[in-house]
Structure 1
């Protein structure tokens, strides 16, 4: 989830603490308490350093891994609370607790997104993906701004903080329940969409867009190397939009095993689709996460250029990775534009990709 949303969730932790305890706003202790909650809510994204001092592939390997793991929940809390206690003149337990609550909002919200996080490592290496929240959720920002405005107008905190908390919790619960409902509808419709034989062996996934309505969700069905893509009507009925056969040629296997980008995509992406293109002497292997789709474009993608050798193998020429980004306008319009119409899917080219195009 984006950092602005995480910061607003941390601010919500602080506001709830003030409203529940009646602690006065102002002074070093209150300022340190606010800082502890907000910094705690941002702390797990310290893995951004892998992007600043490395590259996109290094960042992909690190993102939401060790930095979001169970031992670091406590490490962040003690470091943040301990450091701020010098400023506040004590109150270490309070500051550590608020920092820990901020960290928990970060972990919980990330676990509900499309890519999830390995939150319980080292107990388990499983990546928890809730597929319920979008990568950015403006409602949490709006609620934080409403809270600030009402506080500035002098309203008593308990009178608006707890209702805002309730709205945030209800919205999150609605998102989770809606996702489960759409998954159930998709399972029931599988024989109609892919046939009874494929329905018994396929994997399915429902991913959210920005708006919290059925029409703003996408689905993917995978059976071996065949992918079915679609959306949902406002009533939750799945409608097919595209069908793709993922390439399995030797060039794809070579790219997945012998390029950094290919290995990273195979490791990180739960549903990977591959497509081959020939451009002169180059064989271009395009990879994409089937779960990240705006209209007819798969945006979380990679491209690997290969040249054939005399012995029938390949050598790597170029490679590039395009990380997922948030497109607010596309995400909003995605619930209506071309819903249910057949389309030809495109795999986006990575930025800065040098392939002679």
Structure 2
């Protein structure tokens, strides 16, 4: 999640655990602890693909944060808070740190909760990386706690309760969309194919669905306000890797993206895109990993991150109308390079 949400979460957790000991200093310390794991963005792993894959890595691992919390508690009690009970201080610091990656795990990006074990990042994908409906019910009580200090712990507890209820709702909404997707692909050639579902920006009402299908993928939108449960799919070119084998970095990228990867030739460049993040032509994680030589032969190159792509003005109102139940997704997804509905729509029948 974004830094504001993480800071508010850390402050709320600290305020609740502190109880009668809650002060503005405690809230500020909790906010700092809540954002601390994201300092790994300052590390450079050598190339943009590695920086993407290894973000939310060791600094978000439960195996790292628990010992770090213990060490920080010993130091803090020794030099800054000798009067605090050790268990209460350990609980405060541990909770403020660990709730950060737990919240991140609800997003689509993925969080390596169990680093260094060789397991997939946890990505529940039930909330967007920025969602005011999660953040505001948490942030407002935390800010109020700076003013009404006698009620600070209760205010923080209320904020945590409201924001947690929203996370629970997001899981319910995700489950409804999952059931709907299964019903839509049942009996088609897409039944049993890998599916990725994520909320569209700033809400848990309109959801984006991606279904892989060999050298193409199908993208659709499903709103909880839809009267017709049928999902309007758009076929998109997925492409393929032009070499007989994958370099290790691409294998890591594939594993991190769970196979939801698009290969696309753009001029003399071959771009590799994580399809889970973004939509239509707008994808924030696009990388050049190969180029054509003067002899028109593909050659591997050092990865280069590209801009996310165009965000067309028509897509903003179209996204809002789709959220309200408008079925057509042409204005959101279609472009002359990627869409070939007429040739493939019969394959869904």
Whether contact under 8 Å (1:60, 1:268) holds in the other structure is no
Residue 12 of structure 1 is matched in structure 2 by 12
Q: Which residue, out of 21, 38, 50, partners 2:43?
A: 50
2: CA distance, partners of 1:286 / 1:331: 26
State the SS of the aligned residue for 1:235: coil
Residue 320 of structure 1 is matched in structure 2 by 304
Q: Which residue, out of 7, 20, 23, partners 1:22?
A: 20
Whether contact under 8 Å (1:44, 1:106) holds in the other structure is yes
Structure 1 157/34 Cα, relative in aligned 2: closer, same or farther at 3 Å? closer
The Cα of 1:295 is off from its aligned counterpart by: 4.7
Residue 355 of structure 1 is matched in structure 2 by none
State the SS of the aligned residue for 1:88: coil
2: CA distance, partners of 1:5 / 1:332: 26
1:112 correspondence with 2:106 = yes
- TM-score by length of structure 1 reads 0.77
Structure 1 158/320 Cα, relative in aligned 2: closer, same or farther at 3 Å? closer
1:226 correspondence with 2:216 = yes
State the SS of the aligned residue for 1:230: strand
2: CA distance, partners of 1:334 / 1:176: 22
Residue 346 of structure 2 is matched in structure 1 by none
Residue 340 of structure 1 is matched in structure 2 by 328
1:287 correspondence with 2:272 = yes
For structure 2, the 5+ residue unaligned runs are: 339-349
Q: Which residue, out of 198, 201, 226, partners 2:192?
A: 201
State the SS of the aligned residue for 1:274: strand
- The alignment yields a C-alpha RMSD, in angstroms, of 3.3
1: CA distance, partners of 2:283 / 2:9: 30
Structure 1 segments of 4 or more deviating over 4 A?
322-325, 329-333
For structure 1, the 5+ residue unaligned runs are: 348-357
Residue 137 of structure 1 is matched in structure 2 by 131
Structure 1 residues 2-11 or 116-125, which shifts more?
Answer: 116-125
1: CA distance, partners of 2:126 / 2:54: 22
2: CA distance, partners of 1:70 / 1:235: 38
2: CA distance, partners of 1:110 / 1:247: 30
Alignment of 1:225-264 (within 5 A): 225-235=215-225, 237=229, 239-248=231-240, 250=242, 256-257=246-247, 262=250
The Cα of 1:319 is off from its aligned counterpart by: 4.0
2: CA distance, partners of 1:324 / 1:79: 40
